Amino acid sequence: MCRSTSSCAPAATRRPAYADRELIGAELHTLYEIRDLYLVPGGVDALNVGHFNCGQWRDPTTVSNHLHGQTVSENYILGLRAGGVLWYPTLDEAVEAAGPLYEAWEREARKAAERQRSVGGTTAFG
């Protein structure tokens, strides 16, 4: 008769030990690094559109305020809990996903700049 709830559960329902979780997170991170360093022409910078990079997270804006864990694994878990979706895109897929995010950011930046120039109803700058 087993009295421990964690070690007696079937393997499929057991939660991995903390060390296992950290190892899994590190291995996942290493897979992304291998792709970025050796498989993507131009490296990780080629995945960027402006300051947006969809090389790991399908929509990095979903997780950007949530990745404050102390380990790689904690960041993955926090990002997933925030609604982020991890994926392993090709260069073209990552750039295609980041393009609309950057375009929306540019539109908002132009609107903010216009508001700053026209504070008080008069044009502050020419």
> Alpha carbon of 28 to those of 9, 37, 95, 115: distances in Å?
26, 14, 21, 43
Query: Is residue 100 scored above 90 in pLDDT?
Result: yes
| Both tokens assigned to 109 | 């930046």
Tell me the backbone φ, ψ of residue 80, rounded to 5 degrees. -65, -40
User: Each residue of 65-86: pLDDT tens digit?
Assistant: 998 999 999 999 999 999 999 9
User: Each residue of 7-45: pLDDT tens digit?
Assistant: 565 666 677 687 799 999 999 999 999 999 999 999 999
Reported as a pLDDT band with limits 50, 70 and 90, residue 116 is confident
For the chain, the domains span 19-119
